[in-house]
Each structure stands twice: as C-alpha cells, then as structure tokens.
Amino acid sequence: MVYCPTCGSEIPEGTVFCKKCGEQIYFTPVGVYKAEMNKVQMYSPRSFLNKWETNPKFTAIGVIVAMFSNIFLYIEVLSNNVSSGSLVALLAIGIVLAIIAIIYATVIYPSLFTENPKAQSPGIISFGNGLLGGLIFGLIWNSNLTKGKKGISHIVLIIFLITEIIVSIIELLA
C-alpha cells in the first residue's frame, strides 16, 4: 500500500498528484516522498482540478435562481392572459438563456480541464454550474470536476438546448 505523505490517502502506484489534496507525488525504489517546499513545480492542467472543491451554497443559489426564472417563464406562458407580443418576448428570453448556457457548456466548462481555465473561482464556477446546468447537469458537472473527468454531460446539454432553441423558433414562427 502507498499513501500520500501529506494527507495519508491511499494512492495508486504511478500517480503524479494525490487526488485528495493535490500534492505532487514522487515514487522512489523505497517508497514515496513529498515534494520539497522550495522546489519549483511544473504547471499541470490537473493542478486546478486537484484543488477543486465544489461550493454547495453557490451551487444551490444557482439552481434556485434557474428554477425560479423557469417557473416564472412557464407560469407566464401557461396563463391565458399572455398577449402574442409577451409570448414572443418570453420565448426570446428563453432562447437567450439557452444560448448563454450553450456558451458556458462549450467554452467555460471544458476549459476547466485544460492548462488555462476560463474561470478559477470555485464559487463562481459552482454558481455557473447550478444556474446554467440546472439541478441535473450542474450537479453532474460539479461531480466531474471533483473526479477530474470531463465526461460528456456538457455535450448532452448542448444538444438538448439546441433542440429547445429550434422548437422555440418554430413556435415563434407558428
């Protein structure tokens, strides 16, 4: 068994960074040793993910804001008092929100797994995941960041949102 010299977590042989604390691991014939504090470490795209911690409060706030905005839009659309102009405006707002979510899912979220993440604040990222990914995708994205694996959930959401935009445009033209 090999353990991280910093946090004591079990680590598989050949691991470069501890998945729990992010410490760089050096394997020697006699075991593992901790990186010297004054040793300059090469930047690794994994270093951001090794320090990642989901901010549950900001995720919850993002999900709640998304839920209330969706509830408001659906209540307005389902009420019989909506004029055709208001309906067009509500559908346009939905399309704009979907486009913003697509941009987040195609640009910002994937960048978090590269050398130059577009955002680095766990609070802002957690809020964005909750707001733009909603309850399901937001939690999946936070989980993927914790695991350090991008997955395909952002692609699934992009396809879903493009479909939603097409349906909204068809409704506008009808």
Q: Among 31-35, 61-65, 87-91, 103-107, whose mean pLDDT is lowest?
A: 31-35
CA distance 46 to 85: 49
- Structure confidence at residue 48 (pLDDT): 72
The full length of the chain comes to 174
- Which of the four pLDDT bands, split at 50, 70 and 90, describes residue 1? low
What residues are paired with 27 via a beta bridge? 32
Residue 54, pLDDT above cutoff 70: yes
Residue pLDDT, tens place only, 122-172: 999 999 999 999 889 999 999 999 888 888 999 999 999 999 889 888 877
* % of the chain surpassing 90 pLDDT: 32
Residue 5: both structure tokens together: 């010299």
Helix axis angle for 122-147 and 153-173, nearest 10°, is: 120
Domain ranges of the chain: 1-42, 48-173
